[in-house]
Amino acid sequence: MWFKNLQIYRLPAPWAITADQLEEHLASQAFAPCSSLDMQTQGWISPRGNERLVHTVNRQFLLQLSTEKKLLPATVINQVTKARAVEMEEQQGFPPGRKQTKELKEQVTDELLPRAFSIVRSTWTWIDPVNGWLIVDAGSPGKAEEVLKLLLKAIPKFPLETLRTVRSPLASMTDWLAADEAPSGFTVDQDTELRATGESKATVRYVRHTLEPEDVRRHIESGKQCTRLAMTWNDKISFVLTENLSIKRISPLDVLKEDSDVTSKNDDERFDGDFMLMTGEVSKLLADLIEALGGQLKENDGSTALAA
């Protein structure tokens, strides 16, 4: 199994925690389905459908956060509330006041919730206590925050830090394009986004389009900076690096797919094999990427530790 997007955070390397200790911390946050009056619930579920909330392969931890949310649009609540308010006006001879309307809306919500449809989504999290990574498979920092908030509540003195580098991805990606030279071990692919820094926020996007160095330089000279850049690492993994140091559209290339296509005895072995391959290769990719960005800023250099 491969993550599609990487929201990246740092832990001490190594981080002295066992799977059993982590399991004990997460137990109080185990997932429970929505009751008839819940709009949303979140909690940890077993990544492999057994009783374990922490799946371990080669000293790497895999977690799965489940979120169930009721689909009850505000427009539906307002329509029913409005109809009830008309009935109330006919009965009492005058329209309901602000307090009555609020109480009516709450009553309507309570009545509709048990009949509302639910959607369930999962968010995968990989913890590497050996190399000090915490990776959330989420397309935006906001989705990753849902995971972090639960972990910060569950684990006493959770030593999580934001990842900051000496050089910003924005400046580095712009320089790589201006020089038409990717850092060692990387190549630049055909997707990129350049955005102006002024009020206009003028944006140029290349999608599956050859990046002509002269054209790109003209955009940079006019004041645009690179906010997204598609790259490949060591001919093994393609991805898109963003200005906030998120990685999107991560994809193993053929050389890795061939390694993972070796026939295993069962689904569990295939799953564990893919997870071990992903964690091993992505750890190396991240180390090389941090080096290409000038190295990591430590907390005493100005980085920010996350607090509960």
Using CA atoms, how far apart are residues 254 and 208, in angstroms rounded to an integer? 19
Quick check: helix, strand or coil at residue 140? coil
pLDDT band at 302 (very low <50, low <70, confident <90, very high): very low
| Domain assignment present for 307 | no
pLDDT of 306 above 70 = no
Q: Is residue 308 part of a domain?
A: no
For 76, residues 6+ apart whose C-beta sits below 8 A from its C-beta are 112
pLDDT band for 10, please (50, 70, 90 cuts).
very high
Q: What is the pLDDT of residue 299?
A: 65
Residue 301 predicted with pLDDT over 70: no
Cβ count within 10 A of residue 264: 14
| 156 shares a domain with 199 | no
- pLDDT, mean of residues 160-170: 95
Q: What is the pLDDT of residue 20?
A: 96
Amino acid letter, 242: T
Kindly report, residue by residue over 135-150, the tens digit of the pLDDT: 999 999 999 999 999 9
Per-residue pLDDT for 268 more than 60? yes
Distance separating alpha carbons of residues 232 and 212, to the nearest angstrom: 18
Residue 82, pLDDT > 80, answer yes
Domain that holds residue 88: 77-114
**Whether residues 122 and 234 fall in one domain:** no
Are residue 97 and residue 129 in the same domain, yes or no? no
User: Of 35, 30, 58, nearest to 273 (Cα)?
Assistant: 58
Q: Report percent pLDDT > 70 for the chain.
A: 94
10 Å Cβ neighbour count for 234?
Answer: 16
239 against 85, higher pLDDT? 239
CA 302 from chain center: how many Å?
Answer: 24
In this predicted model, what pLDDT tens digit does every residue of 274-291 receive, in sequence order? 999 999 999 999 999 999
Higher pLDDT, 257 or 77: 77
* Last residue of one domain, picked from the residues 100, 134, 162: 162
Confidence of residue 21 (pLDDT cuts 50, 70, 90): very high
Quote the mean pLDDT of the chain.
90
Residue 2 lies in a domain: no
Q: Indicate the number of domains in the chain.
A: 3
What pLDDT does residue 262 have?
Answer: 55
How far is C-alpha 22 from the geometric centre of its chain's CA atoms? 21
Is the predicted pLDDT of residue 174 greater than 50, yes or no? yes
Are residue 143 and residue 249 in the same domain, yes or no?
A: no
- Are 108 and 84 part of one and the same domain? yes
Domain for residue 242, yes or no? yes
Q: Are residues 121 and 107 in the same domain?
A: no
Q: Render pLDDT for 49-77 as a digit per residue (tens, 0 to 9).
A: 898 999 999 999 999 999 999 888 888 88
Residues 11, 143, single domain; the answer is: yes
Q: Point out the domain boundary residue: 162, 178, 195.
A: 162
The residue written with tokens 């389009």 in the block is 209
* Domain end marker among 146, 162, 178: 162
pLDDT of residue 308: 43
| One domain for residues 104 and 236 | no
**Based on the domain organization, do 18 and 137 belong to the same domain?**
yes
pLDDT of residue 307: 46
Residue 154 lies in a domain: yes
One domain, residues 68 and 189 = no
Stretch 121-125: mean pLDDT = 96
- Identify whether residues 40 and 135 lie together within a single domain: yes
Token pair belonging to 209: 């389009």
47 and 137 within one domain: yes
pLDDT in tens, 177-219: 999 999 999 999 989 999 998 777 889 898 988 888 888 889 9
Instruction: Return the top range by mean pLDDT from 38-47, 90-99, 257-266.
Output: 38-47
